[in-house]
Structure 1
């Protein structure tokens, strides 16, 4: 395109255009490398007077297409240039009858100007185009999406309402299509659009599916929106029991996407849907574990009543607990074990329990995996008495070694700190006889006892582990680690008591409120530990 013409089109220079046309009458036929004419540029930028002048010279510019097949009307609709669109629509009558209607023309993607408007959320533009040509609201593009599909997906409620108010042109949805406009509205999470479409009951069959046989509730299950699920189940409850091509129910899909609110709504209204299994025999509990969705698993355990469902085996003979063990989902396995209905004694087709599967893992022996293994062992000892179970084959020696190193380091630090505190007694010493000046105070006696207890327990831990490292890592070593865990906890709490009483002794005389705050902080330390760890605070690491 001539640089002067391009500049005039971009700036909307009508006078410049007239001068260029007078000098070179055919200049408007020139194009940019992307195939845009001056009218394309002016239409996209909203230069109405320039577009009017250009069309006065050459009306056929209205039908010109660029490299993407877009006409000036496409670009103006996409950019939301209402005045330019009014002009372009009004000039359509000046074209010969045999020429195509600009509102009906499609680009290479099969999009009409109405498609372009709704794709870019231009509600006002879409309404204007609908007034000019309402019949194009159902035209399908290359992706087999109509403007109604796209408006529903984008949440353009006013556009959807106007389209469905027009006489319906029946659309057939082949298996290759992307579902109905309702599918798209649900996928976009637009509740108001769904309500509008559901009100027009004569438009759509609510049971229609997409090419993968997903119905509307399958789409709603992907969104954590209880209201959408409620709307659909109230309208057609059997949607909850229909499977897609993978034989997954909407509950399976909700579990896979972590849609907790959708799960709650489905189980409240259709509780027996938990009995459904997919193509490999897995129920929603299996799917929640496979997709690592802890919140969904907790929700399912809360709402599912039957013991058989919780311990159901898939086609491989694996219960949800087996699956948690095989996928090394220790956190989800622990959630399962907290439920008394979960049975750790079930053998899969290979004759393995969940505990045995955990022992065969080659992954690093992290603390949560070991804790899961311990819980499985404990529950087996309680619930599986008299049953023949696979023997224990792994002692998690690497984990024990790591714990020993950690406790040794912590105990050494505590011993060092408490030993140094012995020579810096709070309040100082009497320079004549070397006795502590505050020795008569009860707080001082508490400080001495706590400090000594912290130092001695930490020293015991250090020397016990020096001995343990010389022994073969077996049952006795694991017991030593367990006892040392408690000794380390005692040493830490004693050090907290020592610190708080020491600060109280030196601060109380000048600032009583500060001393009381320090005491309160020290006393709250065990409470905070319990709030964070819960009952796990009282469990030993091996």
Structure 2
């Protein structure tokens, strides 16, 4: 910014702060305007009333200095060359040698209060190093005078423990000493008390401990309460934040800015939410839906069992409940604010942040507090629904639609660039959301599904509407997803080639197995010796199924090499073929395993080892079956696995299984 102002020949008036001539006054107004335009809305609100660029610049420098100030690491130079006196004592303390330190202090007792230019006494050093025994000894010898000594930054030893080490045992030593609770109210040079420093560093246990010991008169300071609330929300220390809200019914309006942080919380879909997404539900009422429901019930049963056994942490559920309670407190406060107060509290920004992060509960709570918050828009004219579309927040999208009274008007709104909702849906998903999608092919399929889902909801005019650049939504989709389509095509072809090779190997093995049947052939007739054996029937059927499934797999993956790889292919044909080929290959491998077990049973039917092998196969079979039916993969591909069921591949296998048993 400084270089830009210098390039515009405006820096002199900003630096001097004087506008003696009309020309300087014009430069000052232009510089002030540039500075204000460069600030985010929350910072702009702080400098919008300033009359000169010099005052605005100094205010920004004061605000930003604390964020970009370079701080040395607390362990750097604990005992350095600047310790001219009592260096042996510092070495003893740093190395954890209490015997040497106590012997030294017996000879020179005043050395315990000496400090170098950094202001760090031996108690500071022992605290940084985490030597509890030495801290206890020094506190016993130095009493109140020692524990209240501050370093050059104004930090007591307790402040260092709270902000940097998080050592609760050392903190207890300080608070249990004479005058220990007074340490909780001592501020450093930046006006920070130990509790605020602990919350700022995210030390949850230390923050809870110091909060319940900090005297009431210290927390009566509104600045401390607001800052503590902000830092507890940012560090997810919800229990302390909730207790603070219950202890102080009225908080300053500045404390409402923590709602920005609450809006960014993401706990996933809430189980007690009254709405369910229907955009990607495929309810056909078939046998497959019943199977999916049973598998979902089994998955929930396993999760509940793990939860009851203590294998799954309960902290997430507790955080959700505390989060909802905090929302209820702030909902009552927000309901009492007028429009100007809502803007000052950044409530409209918080609603957009909630839509961006998919926080439906926040949007619902604030809507109940003030329905006008649903009309929040940013500087580009994008509202909550636009943010939900742009960031692929399905629950927010559907929830806002259910609240919209006139859907045609809302769904045809445009931003300042002429983009309607379908234009926004055509843009590539933000990079922050890509880590949830396993591959380029799956991502592109989801992008197409989302685009089609929004297309069905918006006004018909949106499909052919052009933005200010003269582009239709479909044109934007093809342009922004061009590289993704190339990556998806490359990935699919490589996967298809690999699976085709595996299919060819299975074909070779199973074709050869037909002519080398277990037990051999009769020399006079050429028929297999065990042709009337049930296990032999299982072997032949499983071998045939494996051979045919492998042939289908190779044909399917060869066909994948000839596709044009258009967006419609990624939505329909391509996923269907991938999952069909994957299902055929899985069926082939499972049938091959069955054929192997049957052949092994024929060869070893008179051996006692057969029983042990059978038990081993039964144990290993579920693990082999888990590969094609992995839950995470299954739920991503559930739409296309239904096609396999409808094609009858698994029904064929199911028909042969009773004879195999």
TM-score by shorter chain over 0.5: yes
Distance 2:565 2:103 in 1: 92
Is 1:533 the counterpart of 2:628? The answer is: no
Aligned to 1:314: 377
C-alpha spacing 1:302/1:489, structure 2 compared with 1 (3 Å): farther
Deviations, residues 126-161 of structure 1 (Å, cap 9, x unaligned) = 644528xx977755432334xxx327866xxxxxxx
**What's the TM-score, normalizing by structure 1?**
0.62
1:370 to partner: Cα distance: 1.2
Aligned to 1:20: none
C-alpha spacing 1:188/1:243, structure 2 compared with 1 (3 Å): farther
Aligned to 1:219: 231
Unmatched tracts of structure 1, length 5 or more: 1-30, 91-100, 155-181, 291-295
C-alpha spacing 1:354/1:142, structure 2 compared with 1 (3 Å): same
Distance 2:139 2:626 in 1: 71
Deviations, residues 457-510 of structure 1 (Å, cap 9, x unaligned) = 123214423543xx5847468754244224303412320342232023123354
Distance 1:303 1:514 in 2: 60
C-alpha spacing 1:378/1:188, structure 2 compared with 1 (3 Å): same
C-alpha spacing 1:357/1:341, structure 2 compared with 1 (3 Å): closer
What are the residue-to-residue correspondences of 1:350-499 with 2, within 5 Å?
Answer: 350-352=417-419, 356-357=423-424, 359-361=426-428, 366-384=440-458, 386-389=460-463, 390-393=472-475, 394=477, 397-398=485-486, 399-425=488-514, 427=518, 429-430=520-521, 432=523, 435-437=527-529, 439-440=531-532, 441=534, 442-468=537-563, 473=566, 475=568, 479-499=572-592
Q: 2:212 aligns with which of 195, 200, 204?
A: 195
**What secondary structure sits across from 1:424 in the alignment?**
helix
C-alpha spacing 1:298/1:429, structure 2 compared with 1 (3 Å): farther
Q: How much is the aligned-residue C-alpha RMSD, in angstroms?
A: 5.1
C-alpha spacing 1:84/1:191, structure 2 compared with 1 (3 Å): closer
Aligned to 2:350: 283
**What secondary structure sits across from 1:281 in the alignment?**
helix
Aligned to 2:32: none
**What secondary structure sits across from 1:493 in the alignment?**
helix
Aligned to 1:109: 153
Distance 2:249 2:588 in 1: 62
1:62 to partner: Cα distance: 7.3
1:423 to partner: Cα distance: 0.8
What are the residue-to-residue correspondences of 1:155-194 with 2, within 5 Å?
Answer: 190-194=207-211
Unmatched tracts of structure 2, length 5 or more: 1-79, 268-315, 335-341, 464-471, 642-661
C-alpha spacing 1:522/1:488, structure 2 compared with 1 (3 Å): farther
* Greater C-alpha Rg: 1
Deviations, residues 359-417 of structure 1 (Å, cap 9, x unaligned) = 44398982343133122134235434645335423455422453244224313421331
Aligned to 1:503: 596
**What secondary structure sits across from 1:141 in the alignment?**
coil
For the Cα contact (< 8 Å) 2:381–2:414, is it kept in 1? yes
Distance 2:213 2:174 in 1: 20
What are the residue-to-residue correspondences of 1:322-337 with 2, within 5 Å?
Answer: 322-323=386-387, 326=390, 333=393
Distance 1:497 1:54 in 2: 81
Distance 2:329 2:149 in 1: 51
How many residues of Structure 1 are paired with residues of Structure 2 in the alignment? Answer: 445
**What's the TM-score, normalizing by structure 2?**
0.53
For the Cα contact (< 8 Å) 1:325–1:333, is it kept in 2? yes
Greater helix fraction, Structure 1 or Structure 2: 2
C-alpha spacing 1:300/1:285, structure 2 compared with 1 (3 Å): farther
